[in-house]
Amino acid sequence: MEKAKTNTGLNVTVDILTGVYATGKKCATDFLKTMTIAFDDYLPRWNYRAIPKDY
């Protein structure tokens, strides 16, 4: 990824997360009531956005 570039000169910054993160954590009970989850078309399992419903 650090070698990625574009013809227009876009610079890419890569950060490696070295922490240990718990898996299987549950969200707050009202989170899904107040947020819309929009999944990415290409990698929906890894890329998604939580969008407030009042937004």
Q: What is the pLDDT along the chain (55 residues), one digit of tens a residue?
A: 667 777 887 777 778 888 888 888 888 888 888 898 899 998 888 888 888 887 5
pTM (2 d.p.): 0.45
Token readout for 39 is: 């999944």
Alpha-helix residue ranges (DSSP H) falling in the chain: 31-34
Whether the Cβ atoms of residue 47 and residue 39 lie closer than 8 Å to each other? yes
d(CA 7, CA 33): 43
pLDDT of residue 44: 85
